[in-house]
Amino acid sequence: MKKVGIIGAMELEVEALKWAMQIRRRVEKASMEFLEGTLNGTETVVVRSGIGKVNAALCTQILCDCFEVTHIINTGVAGSLKNEINIGDIVVSTDALHHDVDVRVFGYPLGEVPQLGCLAFPADDRLVQLAVNCCKEVNPDIEVYQGRVVSGDQFISDKGVKNRIIENFQGFCVEMEGASIAHTAYLNHVPFVIIRAISDKADDSAEMDYPSFEKAAAVHSAALVEHMLPVI
Ligand code: SAH
């Protein structure tokens, strides 16, 4: 039977899902609260991982080990890496990579974790298509893009840094958890998708824009996740 693990880094990214859920069990592990129950008629576990790649990776591993989830969805906000992707739009991951990994000295391409044999972790095609189709129904006024999500333990708010990330990785959006969720799901052979609504442009305007737009963006992403659950 399917059981979907839903991860948001911050409370505002999962609070609407928690409200909408019929909760059966609350489990605390690694200082995170995992809520198990049904959401929109679907078996789910909803959790706030905390911010950054370490929190997100260990949260994903707990979902695999202790809850045996069959699918993983990461919902949240991100900075745009493309001019045409505006605040409020949604990016659905085709794949995800770590933009802050650099072992080029031993011949690995920038971003590749050594001895893994894979630069970017591919999202599940079916989940990607479901997310894109559902987005058009739930958020008809919002543009939805499919592309690469890049992650690192940095908030990107500088045009120079942003441009370097774009040149090196051709990402569609940047955030701080997706690649480690993807990496962990990949190692556990669990299909995943990352869904991110744009809260800022990851440049010098990000510091101003982010606080104004994070809430609305987070809510749009969560609404899309809730809607797609029954069709997974
Ligand atoms: N408001 C928070 C800090 C947020 S850090 C606080 O004060 O506690 C930014 C969060 O949003 C991360 O979870 C990250 O995944 C995402 N994010 C949005 N825009 C980003 C950007 N430009 N660069 C990196 N992460 C970004």
d(CA 39, CA 37): 7
Question: Could you give the CA distance from residue 188 to residue 165 in angstroms, rounded to a whole number?
Answer: 28
The predicted model gives 185-191 an average pLDDT of 98
Tell me phi and psi for residue 8, to 5 degrees: -125, 145
CA of 88 to the centre of ligand 1 (A): 15
Ranges assigned E (strand) in the chain: 4-8, 22-29, 32-39, 42-48, 71-80, 90-98, 121-122, 144-151, 173-175, 192-200
Helix axes 178-187, 53-67, angle to 10 degrees: 30
Query: Whose Cα sits closest to atom 5 in ligand 1?
Result: 155
Q: Is 100 a catalytic residue?
A: no
Average pLDDT of the chain? 97
Of the candidate CATH numbers 3.40.50.150, 3.40.430.10, 3.40.50.80, 3.40.50.1580, the domain formed by 4-231 belongs to: 3.40.50.1580
Q: Pairing mode, if any, of strands 42-48 and 32-39? A: antiparallel
- Condensed to tens digits (0 to 9), the pLDDT of residues 54-83 reads 999 999 999 999 999 999 999 999 999 999
139 band by pLDDT with thresholds 50, 70 and 90: confident
Cα gap 99→205, rounded to integer Å: 21
Q: How far is the CA of 155 from the centre of ligand 1 (A)?
A: 6
Per-residue pLDDT, averaged over 103-125, amounts to 97
Q: Is the pLDDT of residue 175 over 90?
A: yes
Share of the chain above pLDDT 90, in %: 98
Q: Which of 12, 164, 176 to mutate to test the pocket of ligand 1 (most atoms within 8 A of CB)?
A: 176
Task: Say if residue 198's pLDDT is above 90.
Answer: yes
User: What's the pLDDT tens digit per position in 19-28?
Assistant: 999 999 999 9
- Rounded CA-CA distance 221/124 in Å is 18
Percent of the chain, pLDDT > 70?
A: 100
In this predicted structure, what is the pLDDT of residue 42? 98
Helix axes 11-20 and 206-228, enclosed angle (nearest 10)? 30
Tokens 């869904």 belong to residue: 195
User: First and final CA of the chain: distance in angstroms?
Assistant: 11
Are the CB atoms for 157 and 102 separated by under 8 Å? no
Residue with tokens 């609260």: 33
Closest CA to 223 of 95, 56, 40, 62: 40
pLDDT for position 115: 96
**Confidence band (pLDDT; 50, 70, 90) for 158?**
very high
What is the CB < 6 Å shell around ligand 1?
9-10, 51, 76-79, 155-157, 174-177, 199-200, 202, 206, 210
Give yes or no: 13 in active site. yes
Domain ranges of the chain: 4-231
Mutation choice for ligand 1 from 53, 74, 77, 151, CB with most ligand atoms inside 8 A: 77
Longest dimension (CA), the chain: 51
* Global pTM value: 0.98
